[in-house]
Structure 1
């Protein structure tokens, strides 16, 4: 135990200062991004180097069903070896006792990384950059809704009741008064984040009723994905304390904007420490354009990872704050690929396609994979978009089935993300899609029952 405690991050040490650790939650992300694992007494955790979970946690659909994704050994639920990454040790401040969380990495019995574990997929992509002498840097933006408690799936989701006693209002983007409406929830988010050692770059009100955005500081892709993984749970727990739900659905409320996870990218040359998107005189480099071309050429085939559910595609609606194509432009929020205003050292490319419902490890991995392919292929992007990109044509899949077909055909992405991951992911997502197609919607009953 003493060896472990010395490796705790500072925030975890401060959280437990003067207290006795009761429990450790040993967790790992499954394909949807749900935390799976075990809670063990601190004394037991101190004596264990690893624990086991069956590999079938990666074959499970969001509804609790199963994709037939087992390997040639069959569905025998082989044990994985889960080893702690102590750098991820952080508080679980909403619990009734003194609890820490530790993210684990998954290995097989020969100590090889499990190829379809999302954190391993992201590590694989980051290593490809390192092999080229590059250090990828990302900054995710998290959009989500605070909504009224909804325990009946047949009821539409409604905005939460604000501090004023009125439901949250839409079209109040960047309003400080609107942010104040959720003050008690935001206070708990800040308190939980501070206890966990996470630095929030800012919280703003977005355009939807009860829709907020949290920006995180730029940094290491794996570390930032860990933080988004932790943040989703943190925000949900803060909301539950105030009789509301936090939802990360891509499109929870009809006629309101969807929720995105915008991803900002820059690439640092590991030898010089310079941003490879900027030249010696501060101009845009070939690498900058190649990265954008990679996003344009490969994101359609990767959309099934960034938009992983049927609901995800309801977000891509013209003039509803989400892109409908992969045009690129400088300082233009109507395009799918945006270059924000910055000085040359901070030049970056923003991917506005990913939904907040995607697994953060996989969403970031996919985005980096597309950019990496662009850097390797050294192609030029289409001409910069001028004006309102919503006036152009859509060039991304509009339904889950089409997106999965493109993903299955993309050998280039499979090689970057890992062929075994691509196989398992496709099987599980097709199983989910088949389940959805068996559900008859209220729209069908209303308009088809008596009219066709």
Structure 2
């Protein structure tokens, strides 16, 4: 980072101090997401924001090797206590937190002491891949759905962490459940709106106590930032109502888990390449190549999209989780669901939804992997197999084999093995990030070896 850029960052921070102070802000949260998908943070008093913007706030690089339980993998490129990094807030994402009085929030990029982007910074990685697509005249619009389970008790002192008592008793998708959560949902929607988050939909979901919010599409970096901000806001509003929110991929061993579905559309200028072409369901050639790339690399992508041992308790057939590497029109059992949107609005609305990923994922790593896979399919001119219009889980093994339907990995070990064999993702992430992903995943595998589903879900329930 050049000195003039540092000076510009400081000036930008100084320019917003008065407005932030007038809003009652006394401190600014600086969050980032580690390899395990846990949001870590530091904060600075408001008066120190210009210094943080110019020189960064210090944080150890050891967190790249953290596991979900806060133990540390001493890996090849991560997990050392030696060294320091600088957290530089991106003021374009600065928001006053409506559900945390006195606080503002700004996503960060991680730099070395010498001012170079940290090689393990997932946000910088995603920005680089967005830039590579831009060099080809392409852009991607992305949105991440957020599902969570709402439980009773505001914290460890208010509830037994080994249990989950759903805060809502109404039926799945039911009006009764919405009435139960009406005041809570009002406060949440008001807070998100005050923070500039464009909410498309809010509704009760299937599992006990489960809710979902969908947001508008943005560029991928902003979409990942928004995912963090939405989850932070949900946690704050939940605590204010004496409740707890879990984004874990599996909250109870016998329940339906929380997904983190990603919607993607590929654009060239103002043209949505997922619509208006001669291909199946109106896909253009480029849109098909991008989607085929996603589908082809899904087994390896699960190492970043389903990063927990608990993820594979969720990723099972006939649960709308997308357990098979297939695509289809509005098929909620397909790992890649094609969405045309309503007639008359398809140029704006057509997109693909990646359903097999969950709430444990680092959204920057996940979107980076999806862009790399889609770009590889686009460059290679890949074509899609025939779409699947049924639940693959209803077929026999022989029927799936005859149809060319393959199951996605059923364990984290299988996903990591696929990841380590995927040259596209290894090249896109680079050796440091790729090696750390594999080492952290295997660290979690060892951590939970021999653990029952009940013990596993209890262990990770309140970590995400």
Q: Tell me the TM-score normalised to structure 2 length.
A: 0.85
Q: Does 1:388 align with 2:378?
A: no
- Aligned-pair CA distance for 1:230: 1.4
- Please name the residue that 1:130 is paired with: 134
Q: 1:441 to 1:249 in 2, by over 3 A?
A: closer
- Aligned-pair CA distance for 1:132: 1.3
**Candidates 433, 438, 445, aligned match of 1:421:** 433
- Please name the residue that 1:450 is paired with: none
**Candidates 381, 384, 408, aligned match of 2:420:** 408
Gaps of 5+ in 2: 1-9, 401-405, 457-464
CA distance in 1, matches of 2:188, 2:453: 35
- Please name the residue that 1:62 is paired with: 68
Task: Give the 5 Å matches for 1:2-151.
Answer: 3-4=12-13, 6=15, 13=19, 16=20, 18-48=22-52, 49=54, 50-71=56-77, 75-96=80-101, 98-149=102-153, 151=156
Gaps of 5+ in 1: 163-167, 445-452
Q: 1:386 to 1:3 in 2, by over 3 A?
A: closer
Pairwise CA RMSD = 2.6
**Candidates 329, 346, 352, aligned match of 1:349:** 352
Residue by residue over 1:148-184, the C-alpha shift from the partner in whole angstroms, topping out at 9 and shown as x without a partner, is: 2374777442311x4xxxxx244x22x2332121122
- Aligned-pair CA distance for 1:443: 8.4
CA distance in 2, matches of 1:441, 1:3: 49
Asked if 1 retains the 8 angstrom alpha-carbon contact of 2:253 and 2:454, the reply is: no
Asked if 1 retains the 8 angstrom alpha-carbon contact of 2:289 and 2:377, the reply is: yes
- Aligned-pair CA distance for 1:312: 0.5
Moved more, 203-212 or 288-297: 288-297
CA distance in 1, matches of 2:100, 2:329: 45
Task: Give the 5 Å matches for 1:207-222.
Answer: 207-222=206-221
CA distance in 2, matches of 1:176, 1:6: 46
CA distance in 1, matches of 2:201, 2:92: 24
- Please name the residue that 2:166 is paired with: 159
Asked if 1 retains the 8 angstrom alpha-carbon contact of 2:66 and 2:440, the reply is: yes
Q: Tell me the TM-score normalised to structure 1 length.
A: 0.87
Q: Any idea what SS the aligned residue of 1:326 has? A: strand
Q: Does 1:229 align with 2:236?
A: no
- Please name the residue that 1:449 is paired with: none
Q: How many residues align?
A: 427
- Aligned-pair CA distance for 1:441: 6.6
- Aligned-pair CA distance for 1:403: 1.0
- Please name the residue that 2:459 is paired with: none
CA distance in 2, matches of 1:153, 1:124: 43
Q: Tell me which protein shows more helix as a share of its residues.
A: 2
